[in-house]
Amino acid sequence: MGGADGAGSAEEPPEVATRGTGPMPRLLGVLSAGLGVALLAVPDRLAEIAGLDHLPDHQTVLRGVGARELGSAAGLLSGRRPALWTWTRVAGDAMDLSVLGLALRTGDRERRRRLSVTTGVIGAVTALDLFAAVLATRAARANGRVMRLRASVTVNRPPDEVYRFWRDLANLPRFMRHLESVRVGGDGRSRWTAKAPAGRSVYWDAEIVEDRPSEVLAWRSLPGTLVPNAGRVRFVTVPGGRGTEVRVELGYAPPAGKLGRMVAKLFGEEPTQQVKDDLRRFKQVIETGEIVRSDSSPDGTDLRRHMMRRPAQPLAG
């Protein structure tokens, strides 16, 4: 059992399919870029269309807005921290709306008409930005909750045999204590059912996303599940006929609130220890054909529950 965290894997942990931010931030980025370029290139013309051409220094103001738009475009298109950049757009919208409010004091009817149209358009954009920002923030929170675990074990079996055992996902509940069943469908998809506290069950659908026989197997829950999760297991031949290193990386994103606490319980209070116990049981099953039980641990390896166990007396009945 060699199983500490961060056992020196070169690969990234598997990506958990949390409900993503979608294409919105990027679309807004493209929009910002176009507007920014236009504002810097032909500020006069745009000022006229928007009904702002009567303001003093309107060219400088519009160039400033253009520069700002280019800034948020760069941020949004970079793909990093979409929530932050979407919120800066909302702030920019608020500034624009207040400038328009000032401009609306003009006496010129034709300008007032153009300004009202502009305000309407900016208002709609603001609503869109707000919506996108809220979505992006939620996604960022879910990603922040993603738990990543690593553990590894060496088993005295060749990689192809270990891979085949694992590839038959229906075998997983034999050693993963929180799983009730994994039913494999014909389309490469599978339905996983886990035991939840208070006799309840939680289930999700998953797909295999990486499959190199005797080397790597990775899976990921399908979008829309309660507990987005993903896993990857690598099978590494140990030189000298010493068997196979089984290196597991897991990630899951528990939901917030009461439900999240229930899910946390489901995965155990000490999730890393639970994964290590799972791997210990995996080794027992594949090497000896059974989970090793003793009189004080009739359910087998489980450090978390061990401390509360009875003394080593035979079981009643």
Partner 1 sequence: MRANCWMGRNTVEVREVPDPRILSDRDAIIRITSTAICGSDLHLYDGYIPTMKKGDILGHEFMGEVVELGREVRNLRVGDRVVVPFPIACGHCAACTHGFFSVCENSNPNAALAEMVMGHAPAGVYGYSHMLGGFAGGQAEYARVPFADVGPIKIEGDFRDEQVLFLSDIFPTGYMGAEMCDIQRGDVIAVWGAGPVGQFAMASARMLGAERVIAIDRYPQRLRIAQENTGAEIINYEQTDVLEALRELTAGRGPDACIDAVGTESHHPSGAINAYDRGKQAVRLETDRPHALREAIMSCRNAGIVSVIGVYGGFVDKFPMGSLMNRSLTLRSGQCHVQRYLRPLLDRIRRGEIDPSFVVTHRMPLDEAPQAYEMFKNKQKDCNKVVLTA
Name the site residues for partner 1 (rule: CB under 8 A): 1, 154, 156, 242-243, 273, 276-277, 280, 283-284, 287-298, 300-303, 306, 309-317
Kindly state the smallest distance separating residue 166's Cβ from partner 1, in Å: 18
Instruction: For partner 1, give the closer residue by CB, 221 or 244.
Output: 244
Instruction: For partner 1, give the closer residue by CB, 108 or 287.
Output: 287
3-state SS track over the chain: CCCCCCCCCCCCCCCCCCCCCCCHHHHHHHHHHHHHHHHHHCHHHHHHHHCCCCCCCHHHHHHHHHHHHHHHHHHHHHCCCHHHHHHHHHHHHHHHHHHHHHHCCCCCHHHHHHHHHHHHHHHHHHHHHHHHHHHHHHHHHHHHCCEEEEEEEEECCCHHHHHHHHHCHHHHHHCCCCEEEEEECCCCEEEEEEEECCCEEEEEEEEEEEEECCCEEEEEECCCCCCCEEEEEEEEECCCCCCEEEEEEEEECCCCHHHHHHHHHHCCCCHHHHHHHHHHHHHHHHHHCCCCCCCCCCCCCCHHHHCCCCCCCCCCC
Instruction: For partner 1, give the closer residue by CB, 119 or 301.
Output: 301
Kindly state the smallest distance separating residue 147's Cβ from partner 1, in Å: 20
Kindly state the smallest distance separating residue 287's Cβ from partner 1, in Å: 5
Instruction: For partner 1, give the closer residue by CB, 95 or 303.
Output: 303
Instruction: For partner 1, give the closer residue by CB, 214 or 297.
Output: 297
Angle between helices 24-41 and 82-103 (to 10 degrees): 40
Kindly state the smallest distance separating residue 7's Cβ from partner 1, in Å: 15
Kindly state the smallest distance separating residue 127's Cβ from partner 1, in Å: 55
Kindly state the smallest distance separating residue 294's Cβ from partner 1, in Å: 5
Kindly state the smallest distance separating residue 268's Cβ from partner 1, in Å: 13
Instruction: For partner 1, give the closer residue by CB, 212 or 242.
Output: 242
Instruction: For partner 1, give the closer residue by CB, 173 or 300.
Output: 300
